[in-house]
Amino acid sequence: MIRTKINCRKFSDSELILKSIEDLNFFSCIYMRYEKKLKNYIKKISGFDDEEIEDILQNSFIKVWRNINSFDHSMKLSSFIYRIVHNETISYWRKANAKSQNELSYVLNSNKEQNSEYKDKTPKINHIKKVLDLLPIKYKEVLILKFLENLDYQEISDILKIPEGTVATRINRAKKAFKKIADEKNLLEKLINK
Amino acid sequence: MNNKDKIIEIIKNQNIKPKPKWYFAFKNISVWLFYIFFMLIGAISFSVILFSIQQTDFELLSHLGHSKLELFLSVLPFIWLILLIIFILGSLFAIYNSKRGYKFTFSKLIAINVGLSIIFGTIFFVGGGAAWFENAFAIRTGFYESIQKRKQKIWQNPQKGNLAGIINKVENNGLEIIDFENKKWIINIDSTFIANPVLLEKDEKIKIIGSKINDSVFKAKEIYPWGGKEMRNKRRNKRRNKNK
């Protein structure tokens, strides 16, 4: 396989999209630029293991490639990719959920134990994840996108395909639900105090 | 092989090509065409509802002892109301599936769609399109009875004091009219209130409130123009003659 070496850093996201259509090798630059961020995102939202995450990412990037001509240059490339990855993760999660509710919770729980990256870096992060896992998916996803991925309202709106006003409302409700669950599980104190 | 290389391999080996630009452009244009279509049919439905309300003589018919609500419900064209709702929902679905449709809240989308249907529907109604469309629809569909036909039925009721028809002859203190069932009536117009712009001319379409004297004579208490297109044309001609 002959592959020219490309200095990916030289190109902006928009340039990479345009160049990818002409030369597939530029597409790998897009993958490399977002791989780590997206893997973390999938892990936070689903708790899947590394193998499943690779599968989701692979399927998502093939979808990105198929739909590359639909990319709207007034939007951020990250929002475009996050949207596809998000939808792929949720659909994967739902399929797994439909297979067996019990099996999934077993897998998720065992993953959390086995997965080194999911293991406590600090007890506080572990508590946050515990509470996040207990939230409905619509609250969990906005909290992760806002506070763990540090995205702004417009980006979240583009990823989830909901109005910015709804993003704000959902974040507020998610924060309240988070506090309530943390309080019920006696984790609120631990999260406030270091 | 790392995941990055694996993806490139899959794309190359399976010869996966990006969907062409025209595909997305076509999809986008189709969504907007659907939107325009749904919105316009919604607007036409609204204009026919306006036409139906205009054609209902609430004030005149209330002498029959019916409440306004009862009259309104009896003449309200439910088929157009259902069509209006269906097409507004269709236009909502189309705009939501447009490229940036998700940027609008549901309430904003409803307000925009209902607003546009009202604006275009009113324009269509004022331009006389609603009457023409509704009549054409009634002719082409067997199951639907036009608003005019229903109105004629209401006014073809001499027993209850309602009569309507076309003036055939005008005499000193009476008229001869031919009703919608082609029956001739002598109308007594002694001390009758004649509303503006009734001219009492041959071929004029009128409606009468009064009482039946016998099978061919009707005593008129009030006479009104039939309404609709004829009345509008008459008003227009009257205005023109005044200006001259």
**pLDDT at position A100:** 44
Predicted complex ipTM: 0.74
Using alpha carbons, select from A164, A165, A171, A168 the residue that is nearest to residue A148: A171
**pLDDT top residue among A58 and A103:** A58
**pLDDT at position A118:** 45
Using alpha carbons, select from A73, A87, A89, A75 the residue that is nearest to residue A151: A75
Q: How does residue A182 score in pLDDT terms, banded at 50, 70 and 90?
A: confident
Within 8 A of A161 by CB-CB distance, chain B residues are: 102
CB-based contact B124:B80 (threshold 8 Å)? no
Within 8 A of B29 by CB-CB distance, chain A residues are: none
Bridge partners for B208 per DSSP = B163, B223
**pLDDT at position A108:** 40
**pLDDT at position A154:** 93
CB-based contact B144:B138 (threshold 8 Å)? yes
User: Is A69 in Cβ contact with B8 (below 8 Å)?
Assistant: no
Q: How far apart are CA B83 and CA B80, in angstroms?
A: 5
CB-nearest partner of A69 from B10, B18, B102: B18
**pLDDT at position B195:** 84
**What is the mean pLDDT of the segment spanning A12-30?**
90
User: Is A24 in Cβ contact with B12 (below 8 Å)?
Assistant: yes
C-alpha distance from residue B33 to each of A96, B38, B94, B108 (Å): 38, 9, 9, 20
Query: What are the residue ranges in chain B where pLDDT is below 70?
Result: 58-68, 70-72, 74-75, 228-244
Q: How many A×B Cβ pairs under 8 Å? A: 61
For chain B, say whether A13 makes contact (Cβ under 8 Å).
no
Q: How far apart are CA A24 and CA A112, in angstroms?
A: 36
Within 8 A of A25 by CB-CB distance, chain B residues are: 8
User: Is B4 in Cβ contact with A32 (below 8 Å)?
Assistant: yes
Percent of chain A with pLDDT over 70: 79
pLDDT in tens, A81-130: 999 999 999 998 888 766 544 443 444 444 444 444 444 456 667 778 88
User: Is A54 in Cβ contact with B102 (below 8 Å)?
Assistant: no
**pLDDT at position A120:** 47
**pLDDT top residue among A131 and B32:** B32
pLDDT in tens, B188-237: 988 888 887 788 888 888 989 899 999 889 999 989 888 755 555 555 56
Q: What residue in B sits closest to A35 (Cα-Cα)?
A: B4
Whether the predicted pLDDT of A152 surpasses 50: yes
User: Is B4 in Cβ contact with A35 (below 8 Å)?
Assistant: yes
CB-based contact B210:B220 (threshold 8 Å)? yes
Q: What residue in B sits closest to A75 (Cα-Cα)?
A: B100
Bridge partners for B157 per DSSP = B162
Within 8 A of A61 by CB-CB distance, chain B residues are: 7
Total-model pTM: 0.71
